[in-house]
Homo-oligomer: A and B are copies of this chain.
Amino acid sequence: MQRGNEAMGTLTGPWKQLLVNALESNVHLKHSSFVQLATIGSNGRPSNRTVVFRGFEENSDKIVINTDTRTRKIYELKHHPFAEICWYFTDSWEQFRINGRVDVIDGSNTDPVKLQQREKSWFASSVKSRYQYLGPNPGLPVPSDQPQKEFFLDPSAGPVGAFCLLVLDPDQVDYLNLKRNQRVTFTSRPSVDVEKCWTSEIINP
């Protein structure tokens, strides 16, 4: 087993640069933007599902995900706002475990900046993918006699009620590189009135 601290000694940047590099080197794979988001279920058990990374919030390391307000994860996050993303890159054999608090931004949000961010994400997604927010309530049973509804969506219309954003604010990141057998943890120290301050430590894989 390699110790790895020598090769990692060159890593002076934060974890975000490692993630940006991984995204670049796996960009040819459509699924490289798919991540697994774990939350605490209403029964106290872990809950885990695949979601799509939609980018970082502007000038930050916060992770943006589009979702439907009617899904179970929204209920879960309102009761327990912490989540961990597990992001495995199948080509470069890198894993990021990103833990932090999640902000749910729906249409009832009172912050105009957040509402603008929600609108921006809506228009950044394809018209086809916007249609899913008009469909029947996710997770509810399909009645056998349910008629197939037809929807029409004006491409210039803003976000529908069911559309919301999850914005994960990371405070702990565990990075594993299986090709190099290297692992680093990044931890942000809480600080008052200043940017988050990250420290890192090389640990055994």
Q: Which residues of A contact B (CB under 8 A)?
A: 1-5, 29, 31, 34, 36-41, 44-50, 80, 82-86, 88, 90, 95, 97, 99, 131-132, 135-142, 144, 146, 148, 201-205
Contact = CB atoms under 8 A, between A and B. Distances in A.
B204 A88 contact: no
A47 B1 contact: no
Contacts of A31: 88, 90
A75 to B, nearest CB: 15
Closest 9 CB pairs of A and B: A38-B38, A1-B135, A38-B46, A36-B36, A38-B48, A48-B86, A48-B84, A45-B82, A31-B90
A130 to B, nearest CB: 12
A3 B150 CA distance: 12
B138 A95 contact: no
Contact of A204 (B2, B135, B201): B135
Given A48-B97, A49-B95, A99-B45, A139 B88 contact: no
A134 B131 CA distance: 52
A50 B86 contact: yes
What copy number does this chain have within its complex? 2
Contacts of A37: 48
Given A82-B45, A84-B47, A88-B50, A141 B201 contact: yes
A142 B204 contact: yes
Given A48-B97, A90-B90, A139 B84 contact: no
Given A204-B136, A204-B142, A47 B36 contact: no
A139 B183 CA distance: 8
Contacts of A90: 29, 31, 34, 90
Given A5-B144, A31-B90, A144-B5, A84 B45 contact: yes
A46 B49 CA distance: 12
A49 to B, nearest CB: 6
A138 B85 CA distance: 20
A113 to B, nearest CB: 27
